[in-house]
């Protein structure tokens, strides 16, 4: 079993401020729990299996997955999120 400290966080070259903030939040909390700072890299770097992908990146095309990104206005404007694994890669993305 792989450890979370073996992973890196991937964001888009054009990541939004919220995506950058989410990646930093994950990195900082992993450091608090595990004592290790994992790197945040852009999706222009070659992919590896052990990645936490935050937001919309080119990794979706690489893995052949897609997420329907929409905002559910029927639930009071609450944003929805998806967490999904593809192999050892973990996707964390908003649907809005």
Give the separation between CA 36 and CA 20, rounded to whole angstroms: 19
Question: Would the pTM of this model clear 0.85, i.e. be above it?
Answer: yes
10 close to 59: Cβ distance less than 8 angstroms: yes
Identify the three-state secondary structure at position 35: coil
Q: What is the pLDDT along the chain (96 residues), one digit of tens a residue?
A: 789 999 999 999 999 998 999 999 999 999 999 999 999 999 999 999 999 999 999 999 999 998 876 666 666 555 678 889 999 999 998 765
């Amino acid at each position: 079993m792989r450890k979370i400290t073996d992973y890196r966080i991937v964001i888009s070259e054009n990541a939004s401020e919220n995506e950058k903030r989410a990646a930093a939040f994950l990195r900082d909390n992993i450091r608090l729990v595990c004592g290790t700072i994992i790197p945040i890299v852009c999706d222009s770097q070659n992919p590896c299996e052990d990645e936490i992908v935050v937001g919309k990146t080119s990794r979706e095309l690489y893995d052949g997955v897609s997420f329907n990104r929409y905002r559910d206005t029927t639930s009071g404007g609450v944003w929805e999120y998806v967490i999904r694994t593809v192999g050892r890669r973990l996707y964390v993305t908003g649907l809005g």
